[in-house]
Homo-oligomer: A and B are copies of this chain.
Amino acid sequence: MKLTTKGRYAVTAMMDLALHQSDRHRVSLKSIAEHQEISIAYLEQLFALLKAKGLVRGVRGPGGGYQLTRPANEISIYEIINAVDESVDVTRCHGREDCQDGEICLTHELWTDLSSQISLFLDQLKLGEIIQSQRVREVSQRQSARCASARHTQQVAFN
């Protein structure tokens, strides 16, 4: 388990996706980039990883974009963070349990314990839960309004 800004970007992008998608509507990286002020190219890297883990589905061409493969309630924060922070070998032992003179080290023992506790916690925390928060919804609406006005008149039907 690792918890860095990279994971935060991924979770934020996934929140944006969950907030803006619908059956008909896919969400483009461009719109996420505008809302969240993350570069498209960086989002592309993150979504390649998220897609590889089966969390999102990409649709090409105009009107294309990304969609969650599962309901937001069934996607945990743990899954998202783990998809992008894939350095699973958080111990120097690289998963081996014989790192220290052929036996397990204290680091290993402690960190796997601690790690599994945090993982469990984050696994119970679902994307769907988080976007329920009233404050999150308020911020999201303001972001949409801001981007819509920046885009001026055209395509009112888009949001």
A residues sitting closer than 8 Å to B (CB atoms) are 1-5, 8-9, 11-12, 15-16, 35-37, 77, 90-91, 100-101, 103-107, 109-111, 113-114, 117-118, 121-122, 125, 130, 133, 135-136, 139-140, 142-143, 146
On whether A110 and B146 interact (CB within 8 A), knowing A100-B37, A118-B3, the answer reads no
- In the assembly, how many copies of this chain are there? 2
B residues within 8 A CB of A16?
Answer: 106
Q: A118-B121, A146-B101 are in contact. Are A130 and B106 (CB under 8 A)?
A: no
CB closest residue in chain B, given A107: B12
For A130, give the chain B residue with the smallest CB separation.
B110
CB-based nearest B residue for A108: B139
